[in-house]
Amino acid sequence: MHFISPVLWQFLVNWLTHFALFPPEASEIAPYTDSLYFFLVLISLVGMTVVVLLVVLFSVMYRKERNPEPTQIEGSTLLEATWTIIPLALFMVTFVWGALLYFRIYNPPTNAMNIYIVGKQWMWKAEHPGGQHEINALHIPVNRAVQLTMISQDVFHSFSIPAFRVKREVIPGRYSTVWFKATQVGTYHLFCTQYCGTLHSQMIGQIVVMTPDDYEKWTNGSTSGASLAQNGERLFTSLGCSSCHSGNADSHGPSLAQAYGSKVQMANGSFATVDDAFLRDSILNPTMHQIAGYSPIMPTYQGQVSEEGLIDLVEYIKNLNSNYRVQQTLTTSTVQSTTPAAPAAGQGMVKQ
Partner 1 sequence: MSTATIVKLPPQETASLPRRSYLNSEYGLKSWLLTGDHKRIAILYLISITFFFFIGGAMAGLIRLELLTPQSDLMATDTYNKVFTMHGIIMVFLFLVPSVPATIGNFVIPIMVGAKDLAFPKVNLLSWYLYIVAGIFTISALVLGGVDTGWTFTTPLSTHYLNTHVITAGLGIFIAGFSSIFTGLNFIVTIHRMRAPGMTWFRLPLFVWSNYAASILMVLGTPVLAITLVLVVLERAIGIGVFDPAKGGDPLLFQHLFWFYSHPAVYIMILPGMGVISEVISTFSRKRVFGYTAVAFSSVAIAVFGFFVSNYSALVFSLLTMLVAVPSAIKIFNWAATLYKGSITFETPMLYAFGFMGLFTIGGLTGVFLGSLGMDIHLTETYFIVAHFHFVMVGGMLMAFLSGIHFWWPKMTGRMYPEALSKLAALTTFIGFNLTFFPQFIVGYLGMPRRYAAYPPEFQVLNVLSTAGATVLGIGYLLPMLYLTWSLKYGKIAGSNPWQATGLEWQIQSPPLTENFIETPLVDHEAYDYEWLAHQTEHEVQTVG
Residues 65-104 that bind partner 1 (CB under 8 A): 67-76, 79-80, 83-84, 87-88, 91-92, 94-95, 97-102, 104
Q: Which of 149, 158, 227, 231 binds partner 1 (CB under 8 A)?
A: 158
Q: Which of 172, 247, 254, 346 binds partner 1 (CB under 8 A)?
A: 172
- Residues 320, 274: contact at Cβ < 8 Å? no
315: nearest Cα among 225, 236, 221: 236
Give the amino acid at 70: P
Q: Is 296 in the site for partner 1 (CB under 8 A)?
A: no
Q: Of 89 and 326, which CB lies nearer to partner 1 in the complex structure?
A: 89
Q: Which of 265, 273, 302, 329 binds partner 1 (CB under 8 A)?
A: 302
Interface residues for partner 1 in 115-154 (CB under 8 A)?
121, 154
**DSSP H or E segment with residue 189:** strand 186-192
With CB under 8 A as the rule, give the number of residues binding partner 1.
86
131: nearest Cα among 62, 227, 52: 227
**DSSP H or E segment with residue 158:** strand 157-161
C-alpha angle with apex 336: 313 to 318, nearest 5 degrees? 15
209: nearest Cα among 191, 189, 180, 184: 184
Per CB under 8 A, the segment of 187-195, 207-215, 220-228, 335-343 that binds partner 1 is 187-195
190: nearest Cα among 172, 173, 178, 176: 178
Q: Which of 2, 5, 9, 63 binds partner 1 (CB under 8 A)?
A: 63
Q: Which of 5, 6, 10, 22 binds partner 1 (CB under 8 A)?
A: 22
Q: Shortest distance, CB of residue 262 to partner 1, whole angstroms?
A: 26
Q: Is 177 in the site for partner 1 (CB under 8 A)?
A: no
- Residues 144, 180: contact at Cβ < 8 Å? no
Q: Of 209 and 228, which CB lies nearer to partner 1 in the complex structure?
A: 209
Per CB under 8 A, the segment of 11-19, 138-146, 216-224, 249-257 that binds partner 1 is 11-19
| Sign of the alpha-carbon torsion through 200, 17, 33, 211 | negative
Burial letters for 81-95: b for 16+ Cβ neighbours within 10 Å, e otherwise? Answer: eeeeeeeeeeeeeee
Interface residues for partner 1 in 43-62 (CB under 8 A)?
43-44, 47-48, 51-52, 54-55, 58-59, 62
Q: Is 221 in the site for partner 1 (CB under 8 A)?
A: no
Give the amino acid at 188: Y
Q: Is 305 in the site for partner 1 (CB under 8 A)?
A: no
